[in-house]
Structure 1
Amino acid sequence: MGKTVIDVNNNIPFNNNVDYCVGTGRLGLALTAEYLEQLKLVQKEIGFKNIRGHGLFCDDVAIYQEYEEDGITKVEYNYTYIDRIFDSYLELGIRPFLELGFMPEKMASGTQTIFYWKGNTTPPKDYKLWTDMVIALLKHLRSRYGEEVLDWNIEVWNEPNLPGFWYKADMEEYFRLFKETFTAIKAYDERFQVGGPAICGVNDEEWIQKFLEFCKAEGIKPDSVTRHHYTVEFPERIGHYDYSKLEEPVARLANLQSTRDIVESFDEFKGLPIHITEFSTSYTPKGVIHDTNLNAAYLAGQLSHLGDMNTSYSYWTFGDVFEEQGVPFTPFHGGFGMVANGCIPKPTFYTFAFFKQLKEFGTDCIFRDDTAVIVKSDKGFAGILWNIDTDDFTRTFTFPVSGEYTLITKTVDEDTCNPLKIWHDMGEPPYLTKAQTELLRDCAKPLFGSDVISAENGKADISLTAKRNGVVYFELTPRTFTPDRGYDYDKVLSFH
Structure 2
Amino acid sequence: MKMGKITVDPNCRIKFNNNVDYCVGTGRLGLALTEEYLKELEFVQKMIGFSYIRGHGLFSDDVSIYHEYEENGETKVEYNYTYIDRIIDSYLKLGIRPYLELGFMPGQLASGTQTIFYWKGNTTPPKDYKKWTDMVIALLVHLKKRYGEEVTSWPIEVWNEPNLPGFWYKADMEEYFKLFKETFLAIKEYDSRFKVGGPAICGVNDAVWIKAFLSFCKREGLRPDRITRHHYTVEFPERIGHYDYSKLEDSEMRFANLKSTRDIVDSYDEFKGLPIHLTEFSTSYTPKGVIHDTNINAAYLARQLSRLGDDNEAYSYWTFGDVFEEQGVPDSLFHGGFGMVAAGNIPKPTFWTFYFYKQLKLFSDECVYRDDNAVIVKKDNGYSGILWNIDEEDEIRELLMEVTDSSDYTLITKTVDENCCNPLKLWHDIGEPAYPTHAETELIKSAAWPLTESTVISAKDGVVSSQITVNRNGVVYFTLTKRQLTSDRGYDYDKVVSYH
Q: What's the TM-score, normalizing by structure 2?
A: 0.99
Higher deviation after alignment, 478-487 or 295-304: 478-487
Per the alignment, in what secondary structure is the counterpart of residue 267 of structure 1? coil
Asked whether the 8 Å contact 2:28–2:57 carries over to 1, the reply is yes
1:201-247 C-alpha deviation (Å, 9 max, x unpaired): 00000000110000000000000000000000000000000000000
Corresponding position of 2:476 = 472
1:464 Cα deviation (Å)? 0.7
- The match for 2:493 among 448, 472, 489 is 489
- The match for 1:437 among 418, 438, 441 is 441
1:341-400 C-alpha deviation (Å, 9 max, x unpaired): 121110000000000000000000000001000000123110000011442111001011
Asked whether the 8 Å contact 2:4–2:397 carries over to 1, the reply is no
The residue correspondences of 1:129-278 to structure 2 (distance < 5 A) are 129-278=131-280
1:321-344 C-alpha deviation (Å, 9 max, x unpaired): 000000011010000000011211
Asked whether the 8 Å contact 1:331–1:342 carries over to 2, the reply is no
1:93-117 C-alpha deviation (Å, 9 max, x unpaired): 0010000000000000000000000
Please list every run of at least 4 consecutive aligned residues from structure 1 whose deviation after the TM superposition is greater than 2 angstroms.
none
Corresponding position of 1:377 = 379
Corresponding position of 2:18 = 16
Corresponding position of 1:460 = 464
Corresponding position of 1:51 = 53
Per the alignment, in what secondary structure is the counterpart of residue 410 of structure 1? strand
Q: Distance in 2 between matches of 1:379 and 1:18?
A: 24
Q: Distance in 1 between matches of 2:306 and 2:124?
A: 38
Q: Distance in 1 between matches of 2:454 and 2:346?
A: 26
Asked whether the 8 Å contact 1:292–1:420 carries over to 2, the reply is yes
Asked whether the 8 Å contact 2:118–2:328 carries over to 1, the reply is yes
- The match for 1:352 among 345, 351, 354 is 354
Corresponding position of 1:406 = 410
Q: Distance in 2 between matches of 1:103 and 1:317?
A: 22
Q: Distance in 2 between matches of 1:468 and 1:149?
A: 45
1:158-205 C-alpha deviation (Å, 9 max, x unpaired): 000000000000000000000000000000011100000000000000
Is there any run of 5+ residues in structure 2 with no aligned partner, and where?
none
Q: Which amino acid aligns with 1:259?
A: T
Asked whether the 8 Å contact 2:376–2:383 carries over to 1, the reply is yes
Is there any run of 5+ residues in structure 1 with no aligned partner, and where?
none
- The match for 1:100 among 102, 114, 119 is 102
1:430-475 C-alpha deviation (Å, 9 max, x unpaired): 1110100111112110000001011122210111111010000000
CA RMSD, 1 decimal: 0.7
1:4-55 C-alpha deviation (Å, 9 max, x unpaired): 2111111100000000000000000000000000000000000000000000
Q: Distance in 2 between matches of 1:236 and 1:227?
A: 25
Q: Distance in 1 between matches of 2:218 and 2:44?
A: 40
Asked whether the 8 Å contact 1:361–1:379 carries over to 2, the reply is no
Asked whether the 8 Å contact 2:396–2:472 carries over to 1, the reply is yes
Per the alignment, in what secondary structure is the counterpart of residue 69 of structure 2? strand
Q: Distance in 1 between matches of 2:47 and 2:275?
A: 27
Q: Which amino acid aligns with 2:400?
A: T
Q: Which amino acid aligns with 1:440?
A: I
Q: Distance in 1 between matches of 2:102 and 2:4?
A: 51
Per the alignment, in what secondary structure is the counterpart of residue 50 of structure 2? coil
